[in-house]
Chain A
Amino acid sequence: QAKEFRLGLITPNGHSWNKAALKFGDELKAATNGRLTLTVFHSGQLGNEPAMMQQLQSGALDMGFIQAAELGSRVPHIAAINAPYIVRSTPAVAKFVRHPAAVKLFEVLPQETGTIGLGWGITGMRAVFSSKDLNSLADIKGMKLRINPTPVYRDFYSSLGAAPTPIPTPQVFDAMANGQVDGLEADLEFSWNQRFDKVSKVILQMNAVFMPMAAVVSGRVWQSLPAADRELITKTIKTTLDAQIDELAGNEPALIENFKNAPIPIRQVPAGDTEAVIAEFDKVWLPKAPVLAELRKVGATL
């Protein structure tokens, strides 16, 4: 029968995830001659991610694009995908999130969160923007660093000797401009939109962590759908997310070119620096999320 779905996400209009959500709706509508339609609620209109999760669980909301940080704060098994140095480039991220090992992470979602994971979407590898000179990981020591406050990132940046400082997203630019923090970490797309290069002296491409998003469906709603519709939704969302992943990875060289034209240097972390960091991180996180070992093995092959 006819059904109108609601999909919520936290990113604003124009973000590549939002474009993917709208495209998903269009394709769903076209494939069913308008029987299944989708309304996208952007910018957290229906509430922040915890509020959306609650609505997904109760069945008030049908679908959501939820960041790995939110799912990971509920399920350490999912948080493993945020671990540092599983893969080391955005093209590798693009391959990794479509690998069966990454998709298999979703198996715990129904039981742990009441949602069904249908696929990953991505943002690029995160970089550190700093108001003091940075050449290597060692230079991060002692920095007041604004981070995304997910436990995995906190442990990672703490192990580098930084003092992780949570600053609400809309205030990050100002905090950087007036020196409340010495640096921040973010993906390049967001950083270019916010023009963090204008308040920084150097960009250090960490090639360590990335923040993917999971397209999830309410478990309650999923149960109520006929098998044919489930199949169609799964297939449609896969093709849309594939396109999002390829486009984002494809745009990265142009983005880096933009930053190279900015008057501040953009540097890379030498690969040799990372082994001790990985060992320290895994000592804490392997017991919490044993799947991390497998993810590292898969990541190394990409």
Chain B
Amino acid sequence: MITSAAFVAIMLVGVPIGLCLCLAGLVYIAASGNPVLFQSYPLQLFGGVDSYGLIAIPLFILIGEIMNGGGITRRIVDMAMAFVGSLKGGLAYVNILANMFISSILGSATAQVAIMAQIMVPEMEKKGYDKTFAAGLTAYGGMLGPIIPPSVMFVVYSVLAQVSVSDMLIAGIVPGVILTVMFCLVIALMGYMYNYPRADYQTPRQRLMTILRTSPTLLIPIVIVGTILSGLANATESAAVGAVAAALVGKYWTKEFEFSQLPQMMLRSGIYSAIVLFLVAAAAVFSWVLIFGKVPQETAGWIQSAAKDPVSFMLICNVILLIIGTVIDGIPGLIMTVPILLPVATDVYHIDPRHFGVVVVINLVLGLLSPPVGLCFFVAAAVTGAKPGKMFMVTLPFFVISCVLLVLLSLYPSLSLILIK
């Protein structure tokens, strides 16, 4: 009780979340009358990141840095344009497809929105789309980032839940593809209602040339998946191999990447990883004191009295997580809720931890796209100058369809488990 009160109080003053978690842990120990726990405190902080699965995070972020620096992102958009650009609402499809493609390389929603909004929104505006809609749509496209593998959120989840990283990544594929298809259906419908513009007509020959010219970017996901399937590397190591592939494509094909840029890219990847990883460490300390105080056990009792079966439990979780997601960001949200909800899900309702992870992650990602706090909207707004609040309103159909996906997932766990052996 004291821990949570202290936590909320200092969080509202604007103290960084990681620090809030650390401080709340100290406050709990001080209040528990068990000062011997202070001695274990540093080691728990250390133990929170002493985990093989987390190695993937710096490597995933590094790939994104190299791709962006090497002009590879730009070419992916060109490719999507050659495929679907000339349909009604063509650029909207391009946006979603390019996002899906980039999602197969990048692991983060906000990074993806930042990259894609710079490229897609001016393009869409030029063709006559409303800027707010274009920016909002790009934000939803970024939602695919943490759902389609690789995904930093799934990596963090797999460490919290002690499940295989590759299982988690695979579990995201089907829901991610369903979401893409649903988004495209919404675009078709809205395109018909609002008469969306088409992109410039390209002759079949032009399209073929674009596809040929941009196809080497395909090497990066192919290398990642190929090294895993051939047994050359595991999911973590494939990210390092993928970074090498991205550097080579950037250097020798797009010719926009220089090895002299590498030190700065390494530095940025290091710093951005540290932001995520320190949160993980802080959460480890926080959940350790919570567990010591048996908070999860008590919460479990409360939820059990409210939910009678797995489906109603999942629906309650959806509501709780969506509410949490509206004010708290993806990874911190994961870190604060999973230690409490997961034991209930697996022990009481016998829900597969991997399926549960998919539902939790999608909920929290959707939180990035809902008021009052929607980090993806803010990023899109920062890049394009559109208004975040309006963005939510004009893209409401996408929010609704995402909620439909969540209900479907809660009813049919096989949607996330189907590809796992």
Q: Given A60-B36, A180-B234: A171 and B292 within 8 A (CB)?
A: no
Please tell me if the beta carbons of B165 and A45 are within 8 angstroms of each other in the complex: no
Please tell me if the beta carbons of B162 and A48 are within 8 angstroms of each other in the complex: no
- In the bound complex, what is the Cα–Cα distance between A39 and B233 (angstroms)? 40
Within 8 A of A (CB), among B26-66: 34, 36-37, 39-40, 43-44, 47, 50, 52-53
Minimum CB–CB distance from A131 to chain B (whole Å) comes to: 10
Cross-interface CB contact of A170 among B36, B50, B164, cutoff 8 Å = B164
- In the bound complex, what is the Cα–Cα distance between A167 and B166 (angstroms)? 14
Please tell me if the beta carbons of A39 and B294 are within 8 angstroms of each other in the complex: yes
- In the bound complex, what is the Cα–Cα distance between A170 and B161 (angstroms)? 11
Stretch at the interface among A19-27, A51-59, A97-105, A133-141: A51-59
Within 8 A of B (CB), among A160-199: 167-168, 170-171, 173-175, 177-180, 198
- In the bound complex, what is the Cα–Cα distance between A278 and B229 (angstroms)? 38
- In the bound complex, what is the Cα–Cα distance between A178 and B166 (angstroms)? 12
Please tell me if the beta carbons of B231 and A173 are within 8 angstroms of each other in the complex: no
Please tell me if the beta carbons of A175 and B234 are within 8 angstroms of each other in the complex: yes
B-facing mask of A220-249, CB < 8 A → 1, else 0? 000000000000000000000000000000
| CB of A157 within 8 Å of the partner chain | no
Please tell me if the beta carbons of A171 and B234 are within 8 angstroms of each other in the complex: yes
Minimum CB–CB distance from B335 to chain A (whole Å) comes to: 15
Give the contact-size bracket for chain A.
Answer: 20 to 34
- In the bound complex, what is the Cα–Cα distance between A48 and B288 (angstroms)? 12
- In the bound complex, what is the Cα–Cα distance between A157 and B128 (angstroms)? 68
List chain B residues, Cβ under 8 A from A168: 52-53
- In the bound complex, what is the Cα–Cα distance between A47 and B289 (angstroms)? 11
B-facing mask of A260-292, CB < 8 A → 1, else 0? 000000000000000000000000000000000
- In the bound complex, what is the Cα–Cα distance between A45 and B300 (angstroms)? 15
- In the bound complex, what is the Cα–Cα distance between A183 and B20 (angstroms)? 45
Please tell me if the beta carbons of B164 and A58 are within 8 angstroms of each other in the complex: no
List chain A residues, Cβ under 8 A from B346: 13
Q: Given A47-B43, A58-B40, A175-B234: A170 and B288 within 8 A (CB)?
A: no
Minimum CB–CB distance from B54 to chain A (whole Å) comes to: 11
Closest to B39 in A: A58
A-B contact pairs, 17 of them (CB 8 A): A44-B162, A46-B288, A47-B40, A51-B40, A51-B43, A54-B40, A60-B39, A167-B234, A170-B53, A170-B164, A174-B164, A174-B166, A178-B228, A179-B230, A180-B231, A180-B233, A180-B234
Top-9 shortest CB links A-B: A179-B231, A178-B231, A168-B52, A170-B164, A58-B39, A51-B47, A45-B291, A47-B47, A174-B166
Which B residues form the contact surface with A (CB < 8 A)? 34, 36-37, 39-40, 43-44, 47, 50, 52-53, 158, 162-166, 228-235, 288, 291-292, 294, 346-347, 421
